[in-house]
Amino acid sequence: MKIKNSRIFSTIFMVIVAGLVSVLLYYTYLSYSGYRERNKNLEDILLIDKIDRILDILDSERVCSAIYMGTKEKNDLITLKRSRVELDIELETLRVFLEKNRPLSLYKVAIDEILKDLYYTRTRVDSLSSDYQNTLYEKYFKKVAKPFMNLVYKVVKNSSMTDTEPLLDYFELRKLKENLSTEKSFISFILSSSTEMTHQDLFLWEDFLNSDIIEDRVLQNLRGEIFLNSDNGKYLVSVQVWIDSIQKKIDKIKGRQQIFLVKSKEYVDSKLSVAKQQTIKYMAASIALLIILSILIYLFYSNIKNSRMLTDTLSELEADLDEKQRREIKKVLKQNDNIAIYKFLVNAIKEPSRAKDHFLANMSHEIRTPLNGIVGFTNILKETELQEDQKEFVHIIEESSNNLIHIVNDILDFSKVTAGKVELENIPFNIMEKFEATIDSYAVKAAQKNINLNLFIDPELPVELIGDGTKISQIIINLLSNAVKFTDKNGEISISIKQVSQTDDYIKLKFSIKDSGIGMTKEQQSKIFDAFSQADVSTSRKFGGTGLGLTISSKFVSLMGGKLEVSSVVGEGTTFFFSLDLKETKEIKERAIPKFNNLNTAYITIPNRESNHKNLQTYIEYIGVDFTTYSYQEVVDMEASLLPNILFIDHQYIDDEKIIESIIALDTKTVLISTAEIEKCNCPIKDEISKIIYKPLNFSKTLRALNIVKTKNSTIEQKLTEVDDIISHKVFKNISALVVEDNIINQKLIQNILSNFDILVALASNGAEALKLRKENNYDIIFMDIQMPIMDGVEATEKIIAYERVNQLEHVPIVALTANTIQSDKERYLSVGMDRYLKKPIDIAELTTIIEEYFPIDEIRDSMPLDNQLHVVGNEKSKIILYKETELMAKIYTAVLNNLGYSVDMYCLADKFLEQLDNKEYKFALFDAKPFKAVNSDNMIVELIRDSGATPIAFVERDNTTNYCETLKPIGHANEISNKLKKCS
């Protein structure tokens, strides 16, 4: 669109449209006024009809009143009361109708006055006044019925209807009806009371007869018979015959009335419909033109504003552009083309953004590579003999490195999110195992600040659901990390995972993390999910961090179809929550729960803390065990035979040792719910308690606690098979490998691993060196890093394959080495000709599997004989789970244990180690004790290991057989490890 000066044309066009809009709005107003007037006419007709109905019911009440005054019988009084109720209901309906229709509300005052007279007349009837003529005529007719009729006449006269003739005829018939109704009630009293008519009565009756202009022979005959006996009161005509006869005449008049009313209503309806259609047409046309006019005005001014803004923006940008871009911008400005200007701006904005993302990803990767080396060798250095000040220096290096790795990992995750390279898994995962282990891994940090950490995972949830359990765990960890960071000492954090709803295939889960921390203002909440942002600058200085955790979590939740939300009050705490739809597995798994027959449990409550046991109660009752709460005094006063099988005590609220000792002394089992803080004290009660559960309390821990009442089955005697004094070891004969890796630390690591397999290793630092070495030498296999200077791994692979093809050489298998685990990148590596993919950090088992695909295995005997013969279980290897802080040491110990004939699952992260303990059965659990000792949770870890059925063995610098089954030195000989494992068997 060209930028032209078209203001005059646009202005003229808008003036024409505005004129049309004004005309249409005028006609719309006139049409709407007519519509409202017709609508008021319809309301007038409805009001007349309602008043007419009230007069009909009033006639019924008046007749009943006359009969009751004449007979004074109870049955007639009951009939009268029913007719009054019916009239009151109709009067209430009229009141509501008037309130809803404001134009008619002016009649409400007059109606209220009539009702006062009605209620007064009723009192005269109830008192059985002897002045019947005054009551039935002066009061009922003149004070009540006649004012209602005058109201009808007033409505007709005030109506703006052009044709009011039918309504006037309707009113005249109403007068005839009212005359007959008054006569009916008057004569009904005379007949029911057998009263002789006075001259005054006869004169009044004559007035009624003179007003009756419609002849009726039957009625005339009855009147004659009544008149003949009026002097003696001995009437031959019954009250019912009289009422029936005169009512027939009233009904005929009523039928004619309805004809006139319907005619008026139809007339008004037709006029109303026409007015409504006209109003809608004019209104629709006006709105359409208004919208068009608004759009034109907006476009007109936006065009002017955008043109000016674009020109000004380009002029401001010109100073920051290179010579080529300046020439381009001048060309664009001369064209006066908005589209060309927009394209230029988009390219100018996107180019630095792309460069920034690329730089961010590369720098994060480059920083993390040497950092991993620093952390690895720092941990190795830690396990050597050091002086006290040296240990302090090493500890500072370790903490600083870990903090920097955490920051870099956040940046890497954020760069993946912003680049749209995050891939979600869609696999089954066990809810309890996944999330309990995730949250347990943060129990130590919470215990450092003595924070009460609560967890509730609804046991009614399915055992498995399909989704990305790892990403959800990362979200929970990020939110939990935030909660611990911003919650003061002795605070409280509660995590909840519950089902919200369910469809045929999906279950909606709600995750919430609530803390009692510092809280946030509304303004802080509005920007809490922004990247590189915390609540404010002072928060960032005080608590540290990149501010990326919440941004990453929010993006992950969004990718999974949810929304991360926050609710917070300053000084009271914060709640983060989100909901996700997770698919159910096709095969529904049942939760494995042992049967506990006739088992009773109880929880000791304290005043003002009665609700703390709710999660425990839910878990226990789901398992099918009885649960009760008692106060401390109730328990100690209870007869031994009535005591529950298990008593649960919360150490946070009952910490008096004397009280706990008195509970332990009872003839029952006791379970103490505590934190790692209990390990700081030398309390003798620790050894007397039946079991200690470390917070956060969860379903699995509750189930294990209940198992203390079961007798431990004797361990099944395992058959031991004697093996040779010398252990077999896998090697690959006469194989040469080229390792292409730019990082010297990774070079040494891979070289060390391959050398242990007797593989001859050559090294190259980039793709260009690798291509040169491939042309000069023959190799059996190539391990190729991806990101390298001079020439990257992808380009090197393409050139090596091209060289082999041109020279008709046998292809050498190429294995990609990279930390990038995105599926699309894996596919790209394989598409350029790489044969296999090996992720960093390198897993020795995976590496071995890849090599075995291409080369045969030879088995040799290690030259190191064992001091004692080793026995392994049956024909299968005994399973060991190993946790070492450093990956290098973990791999060394894994190799040693494999050579000793054990199957090893290796972990370098504490949370993964704890999670796997619940997933599999192990014979031994070997772990670094130092990380757990630092936060006084080493005994808690030992308890968890024992609960899982494994034997704990800790790597410690000094032996401590009091707290552990057995210990090992951080660096030990294979014989020492073998003997220790045999001893623990």
Tally the C-alpha atoms within 13 A of residue 281's C-alpha that lie toward its C-beta.
9
Residue 184 lies in a domain: yes
714 belongs to a structural domain? no
Other CB atoms within 10 A of residue 18 CB: 14
Tell whether 412 is covered by a domain.
no
Q: Are 465 and 429 in contact (CB under 8 A)?
A: yes
Question: In angstroms, rounded to a whole number, what is the distance separating the alpha carbons of residues 469 and 497?
Answer: 13
The pair of structure tokens assigned to 596 is 């506990």
Say yes or no: 538 and 563 in one domain: yes
Q: Give the start-end residues of each E strand in 522-612.
A: 565-569, 573-584, 600-605
Instruction: With beta carbons less than 8 A apart as the criterion, state whether 140 and 119 touch.
Output: no
Question: Is 297 within a domain?
Answer: no
Q: Which of 348, 363, 378 is the last residue of a domain?
A: 363
- 651 and 798 within one domain: no
- Determine the pLDDT at residue 727: 36
Last residue of a domain, one of 340, 363, 386: 363
- How high is the pLDDT of residue 944? 80
CB 735 within 8 Å of CB 745: no
DSSP string, 591-612: P-----TT-EEEEEE-TT-TTT
Instruction: Work out the end-to-end distance of the chain between its first and last CA atoms, rounded to an integer number of angstroms.
Output: 85
Q: In what order do the strands lie in the sheet with 626-631?
A: 626-631, 600-605, 646-650, 669-674, 691-694
Residue with tokens 């064209």: 335
- Specify the residue for token string 């294990």: 704
* Residue 822 domain flag: yes
In this structure, the strands spanning 492-502 and 506-515 are antiparallel
User: How far out from the chain centre does Cα 892 lie?
Assistant: 46
Tokens of 305: 């504003």
* CA atoms within a 13 Å half-sphere pointing along the CA-CB vector of 515: 24
Single pTM value for the model: 0.47
Do 451 and 566 reside in the same domain of the chain? yes
- Tokens matching residue 665: 């002394």
Token pair in block for residue 362: 């590369």
Q: What gap in Å lies between CA 895 and CA 708, rounded to an integer? A: 37
Q: Is there a domain that residue 793 lies in?
A: yes
The Cα–Cα gap between 982 and 975 comes to 10
CATH number at residue 693: 3.40.50.2300
How far, in Å, CA of 557 to CA of 216, rounded?
Answer: 88
DSSP 80-149: HHHHHHHHHHHHHHHHHHHHH-GGGGGGHHHHHHHHHHHHHHHHHHHTT-S-HHIIIIIIIIIIIIHHHH
Question: Minimal CA–CA distance to 126: which of 81, 89, 59?
Answer: 81
Same domain, 607 and 570: no
Residues 228 and 84 in one domain: yes
For residue 188 the two structure tokens come to 């009904």
Structural domain contains residue 722: no
Is 904 in the same domain as 786?
no
Give dist(CA 779, CA 773) in Å, integer: 9
Binned average pLDDT, 10 residues per bin, the chain of 985 residues: 55 77 78 73 80 86 88 88 89 84 76 86 84 80 85 77 73 82 86 86 82 78 83 86 86 82 76 77 79 78 69 65 70 66 66 60 61 62 65 61 63 66 82 84 78 90 90 89 87 92 91 91 80 49 59 88 91 92 86 85 79 83 91 87 90 80 87 72 70 86 84 34 37 86 82 83 93 93 91 93 92 86 73 86 75 68 36 52 82 80 85 80 87 65 81 76 66 74 79
260 phi, psi to nearest 5 deg: -65, -40
The candidate with the shortest Cα–Cα distance to 93, out of 46, 50, 41, 145, is 50
Does one domain contain both 575 and 439?
A: yes
Which two structure tokens, joined as six digits, stand for 166?
A: 């039918």
Half-sphere exposure of 823 (CA within 13 A, CB side): 5
Q: To the nearest 10°, report the CA torsion of 948, 952, 955, 958.
A: 140
The 3-state DSSP composition of the chain as helix, strand, coil percent (nearest 5) reads 60, 15, 25
Same domain, 662 and 516: no
**Number of domains observed in the structure of the chain:** 6
Residue 354, domain extent: 321-363
Regarding whether 605 and 551 lie in a shared domain, the answer is: no
H or E segment at 968? strand 966-968
Residue 796's pLDDT is 94
The verdict on 510 and 617 lying in the same domain is no
Q: How far is CA 331 from CA 325, 341, 349, 661, in A?
A: 10, 10, 19, 90
In a domain, 814, yes or no: yes
| Domain boundary, last residue among 804, 838, 861 | 861
756 and 856 inside one domain: yes
SS3 for 971?
Answer: coil
Residue 220, C-beta contacts closer than 8 angstroms, at least 6 positions apart:
none
User: Are residues 17 and 157 both part of a single domain?
Assistant: yes
Q: Which two tokens stand for residue 326?
A: 């300046």
